[in-house]
Amino acid sequence: MQTIEVRPAVQREPAHPSIDRKQISDLVETFYQHIRTNDRLGPVFEARIAGDWGPHLDKMKGFWASVLLKTGEYKGKPVPAHFRMKEVVTDDFRIWLDLFRATALEVFDDPEAAAIVIRQAEKIATSLWMAMLATPFDKAPNFLFGEAGAGR
């Protein structure tokens, strides 16, 4: 008889111990409130969402729970969804990140947690920018890297 080795499940550690679902919900709700009132990004999002923000907010809460709490619940494909948005330009990423950074600093009491959340957003924005707007030899704009990216 053959013995089958069973490995223990991989432990998924949150990005920071102080981050919880309430903070993620607050992050998403507050961030998208800022997006809605932004002169440039508000219309871009509204054109796609058409007033029905609930499903998008739920999807983003699942996305950020997957990123920050390592839940694995988000099953979407963000690159193809964003790739179709031909009206998006490089400066939109700067606006998005400025709003996101300010929101993260507002929502997360722990500065270390806020910094981790912001760094994750910068990585995501960089990946999306590269997929949507870059050519093979383009260098990502410095604003995608925040303070840590100065001099890149």
Per-residue pLDDT of the chain (152 residues; tens, 9 = 90+): 677 776 665 667 888 999 999 999 999 999 999 999 999 999 999 999 999 999 999 999 999 999 999 999 999 888 888 878 889 999 999 999 999 999 999 999 999 999 999 999 999 999 999 999 998 888 899 988 875 443 33
**83: in domain:** yes
Reduced to 3 states (helix: H, G, I; strand: E, B; else coil), residue 126 is: helix
**16: in domain:** no
**9: in domain:** no
**102: in domain:** yes
**148: in domain:** no
Residue type, 94: R
**144: in domain:** no
The CATH number of the domain holding residue 124 is 1.10.490.10
Where b means 16+ CB within 10 Å and e means fewer, 70-107 reads eeeebeeeeeeeeeeeeebeeebbbbbbebbbebbeeb
- How many Å apart are CA 139 and CA 152, to the nearest integer? 9
Q: How many domains does the chain have?
A: 1
Angle between the N-to-C axes of helices 41-49 and 53-68, in degrees from 0 to 180, rounded to the nearest 10: 110
Q: Which domain holds residue 64?
A: 21-70+79-138
**97: in domain:** yes
**55: in domain:** yes
- pTM across the whole model: 0.86
